[in-house]
Structure 1
């Protein structure tokens, strides 16, 4: 296996190992978010980013999407993601992070996938 594939596999393994450590009793939610992100944008390469799962279009590319757990599970986008201002927005704020207070439902999963696809552009 080429070195690049080895590094990608190592990065994926590190993310998959980190999810249960970071998310604890919410590890099923963390794993599901990882799965949704990867299904929505298969070109993303997971890696640890500041100790949390991050997703970029390549190993040397900036992270676009991340997940973490503090008091709540957080799903977010970095400033490097495709974050256009909504045309009809009444202000100049662009949403880039969301807390999850409960288990994922179908509507939330669909919205996460939609956000990831938009972030990747």
Structure 2
């Protein structure tokens, strides 16, 4: 008889614990841009080469296109929040859940709306000029 899982996997439990720690740390730091930037840069530094390249590119693009967003981690991922402290977008690295590609994910606070249906997550393997161009367009649209 096969066992069925009714709970979270070990990876999912670790992500939940990470998020709880982030929330405690963010509560202590308030809306400090410096604390958020330090946390995001620390998260980026821990990533493998391709994921780190994507995260560094995203961090640079957000700083240039949407400097009003505040860096903060989101489940251990590099993320960027609005002035209310709500995450607008984040990078989910491929290595976190051993997936084939990383995703740039936009939360419901973003303004990517386009008619009755639109994409909110975009996959990438590595940073390139084409990826940078698309991410710039998305960040600009998401924060318009």
Tell me the TM-score range normalised by the shorter chain.
0.7 to 0.9
How many angstroms does 1:33 deviate by? Answer: 1.7
Three-state SS of the structure 1 residue aligned to 2:39 is helix
1:75 aligns with 2:104: yes
How many angstroms does 1:112 deviate by? Answer: 0.5
2:124 maps to which residue? 100
TM-score (norm 2): 0.68
How many angstroms does 1:9 deviate by? Answer: 0.5
Three-state SS of the structure 1 residue aligned to 2:48 is helix
How many angstroms does 1:4 deviate by? Answer: 6.6
Q: Which has the larger radius of gyration?
A: 2
Q: Where does the alignment leave 5 or more consecutive residues of structure 2 unmatched?
A: 1-28
**Distance in 2, Cα, partners of 1:67 & 1:30:** 7
TM-score (norm 1): 0.79
Do the aligned partners of 1:81 and 1:120 also contact (CA within 8 Å) in 2? yes
Cα RMSD, aligned residues only: 1.9
Structure having the larger proportion of residues in strand: 1
4+ aligned runs moved over 2 Å, structure 1:
none
Do the aligned partners of 2:81 and 2:87 also contact (CA within 8 Å) in 1? yes
